[in-house]
Amino acid sequence: MTDDLLPDNTDTPDNNDELYERFSLIIDKGQEPLRIDKFLMTRIEGATRNKLQRAMNLGMVLVNGKEVKPNYKIKPLDAVIVYSDMSPEETDVVPEKMDLNIVYEDADLMIINKPAGMVVHPGSGNYSGTLLNGVSYYLQQQNPGISEDILPRFGLVHRIDKNTSGLLVLAKTDKAMRQLAKQFFDHTVKRQYLALVWGDMEQDSGTIVAHVGRNQRFRKLFEAYPEGDHGKDATTHYKVIERFGYVTLVQCVLETGRTHQIRVHMKYIGHPLFNDDFYGGDKIVKGTIYSKYKQFVDNCFAICKRQALHAKTLGFIHPTTGEEMHFDTELPEDIAQVIEKWRAYSNTVGTR
């Protein structure tokens, strides 16, 4: 085996909601001793010395199963695993005072219930008003004098879409970030979403397996590639919670964490999310076209002005105590109201 890196989960930041990936390799028999940071800079695309050194200081680089420092010199047949930070290059985060719905907090981590409409981290076109702007301010108030160097993307190991509401975990220590990142990569974190989708789903439960990657023509959109010829592997398990005839409330469990995964997978099987303007859910997909029905749907769109998707539950192993942690949230008011309207409508007109 050559010493080329073998990605276990090849992703790019724009095709992965989990901000870490893992590479593994076996060092070639003829390799001369060389500092591991210098070696990896030539093997991982886009890697910088600062990022690699930080990863090693966080224990994210293992050689023969043990953490190593940047000055470690690789040897022939060393087995190397690198948990690589996939977050975008750091952007200055200006602390901003805002209301954060903190569901839980201890010395190691915090759980936040993100509202729809809030971007998780600063980036192109969104330099303020993001979740991390608020977290930065919150941490400054908690820790007067904290270095601003550690505030950008502090503790962020995953994200959810701007117009998706729900639970996020952020680490408050290096150890917690390392442990949580590994749990996300190993798919041991338990995440359940609730989604209102168009159509009456045929099966009560099922699994969708189709790669998710960028649309070849429209780069802001993602597409399902069932043959695996493009994108990254993606698996979504779903279960019907309640049927309303023209729409269905489903629970989705992610096995992988690709960008727009649930939205893309549901569109792929013919059930786009209700009012998802990216994937065709913002028009009447199922049902009649008479005026009263159209008015009813438009009223629902006016109540829930975004895709009806909520990250409802989150479970993981606490990085310090080893305790199983589980968090659950109520549906936000906009989705809850629309569900009630559909429930009343389906009972009235007998669509089921």
pLDDT grade, residue 350 (50/70/90)?
Answer: low
- Residue 323, class by beta-carbon neighbours within 10 Å (0-12 exposed, 13-18 middle, 19+ buried)? exposed
- Structure tokens of 346? 């389906």
Which of the residue ranges 33-37, 86-90, 131-135, 208-212 would you say has the lowest mean pLDDT? Answer: 86-90
Give the β-pairing of 309-317 and 324-328: antiparallel
* Whole-number percent of the chain with pLDDT over 70: 87
Residue 81 φ/ψ, nearest 5 degrees? -125, 130
Residue 178, pLDDT score: 81
Q: Within 13 Å of residue 51, how many CA atoms lie on the same side as its CB?
A: 17
pLDDT at 212 over 70: yes
Max mean pLDDT range (56-65, 169-178, 252-261): 252-261
> Cα–Cα distance between 158 and 87 in angstroms, integer?
9
pLDDT at 29 over 60: yes
Give the β-pairing of 109-114 and 165-171: antiparallel
Give the β-pairing of 165-171 and 309-317: parallel
Average pLDDT over residues 130-158: 75
pLDDT at 148 over 80: no
Q: Tell me the pTM.
A: 0.81
Give the β-pairing of 222-225 and 190-198: unpaired
Q: Domains in the chain, start-ordered, CATH in brackets?
A: 20-85 (3.10.290.10), 102-185 (3.30.2350.10), 190-349 (3.30.2350.10)
pLDDT grade, residue 4 (50/70/90)?
Answer: very low
- The tokens 């695996």 sit on which residue? 228
3-state secondary structure labels for all residues of the chain: CCCCCEECCCCCHHHCCECEEEEEEECCCCCCCEEHHHHHHCCCCCCCHHHHHHHHHCCCEEECCEECCCCCEECCCCEEEEEEECCCCCCCCCCCCCCCCEEEECCCEEEEEECCCCCCCCECCECCCCHHHHHHHHHHHHCCCCCHHHCCCCCECECCCCCCEEEEEEECCHHHHHHHHHHHHCCCCEEEEEEEEECCCCCCEEEEECEEEECCCCCCCEEEECCCCCCECCEEEEEEEEECCCEEEEEEEECCCCCCHHHHHHHHCCCCECCCCCCCCCCCCCCCCCHHHHHHHHHHHHHCCCCCEEEEEEEEECCCCCCEEEEECCCCHHHHHHHHHHHHHHHHHCCC
Closest by CA position to 314, among listed 113, 135, 133, 120? 113
Closest by CA position to 275, among listed 305, 239, 254? 305
> Cα–Cα distance between 59 and 296 in angstroms, integer?
55
Average pLDDT over residues 155-172: 91
> Cα–Cα distance between 86 and 272 in angstroms, integer?
28
Q: Which residues are catalytic?
A: 161
The pLDDT tens digits of the residues spanning 221-238 come to 999 999 988 888 999 999
Which of the residue ranges 45-49, 224-228, 254-258 would you say has the lowest mean pLDDT? Answer: 45-49
